[in-house]
Structure formats: C-alpha cells, structure tokens
Amino acid sequence: MIRTVKPKTAKAKRALKERDPKLVENVKQVLFIPGQTSNKLLHDAMVDLSALKKPDIKRFDRKNNIRPFEDPTPLEFFSEKNDCSLMVLSTSSKKRKNNLTFVRTFGYKIYDMIELSIVENYKLLADFRAKTFDVGLKPMFSFQGSAFDSHPVYTHVKSLFLDFFRGAVTDLYDVAGLQHVISITIQGDFRDGEPLPNVLFRVYRLRTYRSEQGGRKLPRVELQETGPRFDFKIGRIQSASPEMEKEAHKKPKQLETRSIKNVDLDTMGDKFGRIHMGKQDLNKLQTRKMKGLKSRFDQDGGKEENDMEEYLEDDEDALNKETNSEEDTYGEEFVTAEDIEEPSAKRQKKK
C-alpha cells in the first residue's frame, strides 16, 4: 500500500482529489504491462488493443516479473500507483503460449482475472492496411452465441469486454460517431464436459452507401474488417468473491431512481403513465352540437313513433275479437222521413 503524504502544492491537491470516491466515477483507465517472458507478438497485440481503447490507456515499456495467480500484490501496487482499474499482462511459456491476462480491480484490490491465449490464426492492424476509425469513439458490440447469457465463463468474458471498452457514460449520441463494431463469437457449439471453444475477436468499420430505396436518409450499410483479428483460447479464471461482488455492485442512495406512482418504464426506456378516472354517466354525455338536432325539436316525433310501435305490437286476433264483441245498433239509430212531424202554420206565421 502506498503511503499518503499531505499535499504541499495545488497540483498535488487536485491529483489527490481526482482519486477520491465519487458518485459518478471517472472513465476506467487500462494499464498494459509486459511480463518477463513477453515476445514481439504480444507487444504488437497490446499496441493494437491500446489503439482501440485510446486515449484512456497507460503502457509500460520495461518488462516486469509478475505471476498474477501466485502473487497479485505487484498488480495491486501498479493499480493504485497509476490509478488504473483495468490491466493487461502479457506472458508466454511452453505451457501457456502467447498469453494475455485481463485483470479488473475494485478499490485497488484484485476483483477477477482471466487468461486468454492468442491462437495462430491472428492478424494485426498493420496487416489489413485499411482506413481505421477516429480515436476516442465508443464501439458497438455484437455477441454471437447463446452461451454468453447462460454459461458462467462466457458471461465473464462478455462482462470483461463490455467493461474494457465502455468509455465515458453519456446520454448524448451522434450517429456520425458510430463508426466501428466489435464482434465476439463463440466458435461452435459444445456440451458439458467438453473443452470450451475459442472466442473469436473481430473489429469492423461501418461504411455507408447511397441506397436506391432510402436514398441519403436510409443508406445501405456494409462492414469492412479493419483489425485486429484474434482467436482467444480460454485459460485460467479467478472469479470475484461474493463479498467483494456484493460491495462492488452497491449503488449510492443519491443515484437510486425513485419510483414515481403510476409511471412505468419499458425495456427501451419509454415512459408509460396510468390515469385513474371516476365512474362516467353516459346519460349526461353531450353529443348534439347542431341546433336542429336538439331534443326539443323531436319530442312529438318521438310520441308518434311510440304509438306506431304499440300498434304494430298488437295481435290481429285480439283486434278481431274486439270488433266482433260490439253489438250492432244500426236499426235502432235509423230514422225515416215519415217519423218527422211537419211544423204547424201558426208557428210559421209567428216566424
């Protein structure tokens, strides 16, 4: 552990303040360390990996005699001294040839480690001679293989590469900055008890062309391999302890998102609100807007329609029975001309 000295200058104070814990941590720096048995291939491979990670890198030129799985103390010392939470150590031996050890730390202590050996099928950046992408851009990732979500070893590999090339966390995105894709593929299928297949590491650059259907707004996209190209063979693995993993996954209370009542978020980050409304009385619903359609203009028409409906509902047999039951009073009410008395003469004179 490095002893802490009280800073005497403003520059030293700013440097120590940058290392203090923060709610939102700085971008993770990567330290590339050549081992005692490193060779030219491993040196070129680390140079190409550092080109993908620039500018958040630091690289040693001198070789260091470090055995990470036997004694990780030198790695913890380098992590604290250089303020780097990611490290890559290159070693080569007869048993483990062309070996890269990826190390992650938490609180300047070893969090986990994994060995990835470079198989003969490799190709460096200098071998492609193609136009690369700009420095400092975040890559897009493509993980091909269901084992990246189910198998613990390949889940560890996926988490490592996402953490390695994560970069700065931001909410601002520009389509022009999406220039390259890192594709990681599992070479073939496997069953339990069989050797784990290799991990294929490929880097592609996006090239856009004008399409016949979409024009400039919806161009045609093609992938051009720019390198580096590596086939990694999985070696030794050291996972994080449950206590350290629990401590590393803690989130400060200031960054916890408070749940808002009746507001939900879907997987794409879109907000959906829920509104609770009272019971509606449809009889009071106003649907008439024209003056001629108001209710006062069709009240009589409504009565006639009701009478017509009642008439149609009556049974014909019931109506016939009512007509037959009535008595015929035609003869009693009939009066002839002889039954009428003539008026007297006196009455006519008076008139």
The full DSSP string for 211-259 is ETTTEEEEEEEEEEE-S-BEEEEEEEEEPPPHHHHHHHT---GGGSPPP
Q: Which of 157, 129, 122 is nearest to 42 (CA)?
A: 122
**What mean pLDDT comes out for the span 174-183?**
85
Q: Which of 47-51, 52-56, 148-152, 252-256 has the lowest mean pLDDT?
A: 252-256
pLDDT at position 34: 96
Q: Which two tokens stand for residue 154?
A: 């390949």
More confident residue, 220 or 256: 220
| pLDDT confidence bin for 121, thresholds 50/70/90 | confident
User: In this model, does residue 105 exceed pLDDT 70?
Assistant: yes
| pLDDT confidence bin for 203, thresholds 50/70/90 | very high
What is the distance between the alpha carbons of residues 234 and 348, in angstroms, rounded to a whole number?
145
Phi, psi dihedrals of residue 75, rounded to the nearest 5°:
-70, -40
pLDDT in tens, 253-289: 877 777 788 888 887 778 888 888 888 777 777 766 6
**Tokens 């491993």 sit on residue:** 42
**What mean pLDDT comes out for the span 297-324?**
54
Q: Give the chain's mean pLDDT.
A: 82
pLDDT at position 11: 86
User: In this model, does residue 351 exceed pLDDT 50?
Assistant: no
pLDDT at position 114: 96
- Helices and strands per DSSP (H, E), number in the chain: 11, 12
What is the distance between the alpha carbons of residues 76 and 2, in angstroms, rounded to a whole number?
10
pLDDT at position 16: 78
User: In this model, does residue 4 exceed pLDDT 90?
Assistant: no
Length of the chain: 351
**What mean pLDDT comes out for the span 186-197?**
88
What is the distance between the alpha carbons of residues 229 and 183, in angstroms, rounded to a whole number?
10
Cβ proximity of 185 and 204 under 8 Å = no
Q: Which of 234, 206, 227 is nearest to 148 (CA)?
A: 234
Residue 51 CB neighbour total at 10 angstroms: 16
Cβ proximity of 187 and 154 under 8 Å = no
Q: Which two tokens stand for residue 226?
A: 């720019």
Is the pTM of the predicted complex or chain greater than 0.75? no
What is the distance between the alpha carbons of residues 346 and 239, in angstroms, rounded to a whole number?
145
- pLDDT cut 70: percent of the chain above it: 79
Q: Which of 123, 113, 115, 112 is nearest to 96 (CA)?
A: 115
**What mean pLDDT comes out for the span 319-344?**
55
Cα 37 to Cα 86, 99, 194, 346: the distances in Å are 21, 10, 30, 164
Beta bridge partners, 311, equal: none
What is the SS3 assignment for 80-135?
HHHCCCEEEEEECCCCCCCEEEEEEEECCEEEEEEEEEECCCCECHHHHCCCCCCC
Q: Which of 219, 210, 130, 224 is nearest to 175 (CA)?
A: 219
pLDDT in tens, 316-328: 555 555 555 554 4
Please classify residue 52 by burial: count the beta carbons closer than 10 Å to its beta carbon, then call 0-12 exposed, 13-18 middle and 19+ buried: buried
Q: Which of 237, 90, 87 is nearest to 163 (CA)?
A: 87
